Each structure stands twice: as C-alpha cells, then as structure tokens.
Amino acid sequence: MTTLDPPPPAKPLRVQEQDLKGKVALVTGATKGIGRAISLDLATRGASILGTYSSPQSAHLFDTLTHSINDLYSSSPNSSSHTPAPSGPKLVGALADISSPSSSVPAIQEGLQKHFNGKVDIVIFNAAVMGLAKMGDGGVTEDFVDAALAGNVKFPVLLIEMLVKGSMIRRDGRVVAISSEGVRARRPPGGAVYAATKAALECLMRKWADELGTHPGMEGTTFNSVSVGFTKTEAYSKIPPEIRDRLTEADAAEVAVGNRIGEVEDVADVVGLLISDKARWLSGSVVDASGGKAKIL
C-alpha cells in the first residue's frame, strides 16, 4: 500500500472563543463520528446542544461527551483576568431514531420545549440511514428504499415543518445538512439509493434557503449542505481491512490537498465555518468537504 500523508496533528480539546454563547444547536447523530466532532466544536464555542442518538445503548456516549465538556469548562479559568471562567453550555441528549419520523420529530420538539424554551439557532442534519445494495442483487427491496427515504428525506422535511410552524428557529439561524460526494462523484456500486436521498436533501436545502431565509421571525437564516468524502468514522473502521485499505488508497490519490482521506475534524471545521456569523451571506450552497475530490461548480 502506498504511504499516505499523516492526518493533521490532533488538537487537545479546549474552550474556544465563545462566539456561539447563548445559542442552541440541534445535532442529529451527536454521539459518534462527524456528529460528535461537530458537537464538540459547537460546545467548546459556547453553544448549548440538544444531541440525538438512535438507540438507548448510545445514551452513555452522549453522557461521556457531556462530562468531557463540563470538565473542560470547570478546569478552564480565565487566564487574562481575575474574572471567572466562562460557564459551560447546557447539553441534553434525546433518543430520536430518524428512521421513525413519527416518533423522533415529537421527541425533538419535546426536548427543545422542555430544556431550551422551544427555541433553536443551529440545526445540523448529520444522522443518516445508510445502506449499500447493488441493483439486481435482490437487496433493493421496498423496505430498503422506504427506510432510506424515511430517514434521509421524510425526517428532515417533517422536522423543518415542525420548527417553522412552531416559530422555533430564531433570527440569523443556521441549518446545515451533511451530504455525500456520492451525489456527484463515482463511488463503489451499491450506493445509488443513498446518493439519491442525499441529492433530495440538497435540493430541499436550496429550496428552503429561498423560501425560509426571510420567513417572519427567522430572517437571516441560512441553509447549506456539506458534501463529505471518504472519512474515518466508526463505519470506516468496520470495513474489512483489505477492502478498507484499497478504498483508502484510491480515494486519497484523488484528494487535491494531500494524499490522505478525511478525518471527522476536517468535516466539523467546515461545518463550523458555515454556522459562524462570517457565513451570513452564504445560503443555498453545497460546500465541498472532500479535500477537493468532488469539484462543486
């Protein structure tokens, strides 16, 4: 196997500039991979978080994330003066399986109303129903298609409908959807249905940018998608080593900024840019987070 470039040096978790203090973020799939990296970035910038997970077994992962953030803030005195350290954000976990929108959307609504006065500033569509099935092999069943549509299209539509109808998104909000380079770049066979649902989500984000950016009460809200390439998530580690190494080498060779594939922090940092005030003039776009593999023009 070709020697790959090393990933960027790991940065220790630290309290960052509190540019998101006072804001509330909803992050779906907050306990693992990209969702966890995004949650850590937002929380260390001061944002309170309602983070979802799909099964009771994942609740402890959110508890671990919460403890890490609480410990970080409690041990971070203000080094520039005698003023107290910044108070830590509020982190609340919610069991919400996106493949069942009829139960997950009300669970999120309840969590926002109970813990955050029914208001949210940042919405991150990170969780996804993923599955590979090659056409003609028998795996593309009605249930397979229904599950992908329910989690990746129906859930976002019903969640945004609930948030807008309930006037829950505040002015200058930020909505970001994690998409896939598979929408426009060649990938191994089996991902057609998943890619199609991500294309639909990107379309929804463009249309919501037009329809909701000036909606009364949520003026200035932006809607953008992030196209993610091959990234070292938990799913990556579960790929059989011989297949994983081959895919890694092939993908790394196509990356424009280095001979490696993505880390979850690479994606979280791109999302972090989009939810900042500096991205206030960017809406309805798809931003590449594949290291330049999938050129988006």
The answer to whether the predicted template modeling score (pTM) of the entire model surpasses 0.85 is yes
Does a structural domain hold residue 5?
A: no
Rounded Cα gap, residues 262 and 188, in angstroms: 17
Q: What residues make up the domain containing 187?
A: 24-79+87-232+264-289
pLDDT, position 79 = 46
Does a structural domain hold residue 277?
A: yes
Lookup: tokens for 130: 């993923």
Does a structural domain hold residue 171?
A: yes
Task: Count structural domains, the chain.
Answer: 1
Stretches where the chain sits below pLDDT 70 are 1, 77-85
Does a structural domain hold residue 281?
A: yes
CATH classification at residue 199:
3.40.50.720
pLDDT, position 81 = 52
pLDDT, position 100 = 97
Does a structural domain hold residue 272?
A: yes
Does a structural domain hold residue 151?
A: yes
pLDDT, position 260 = 95
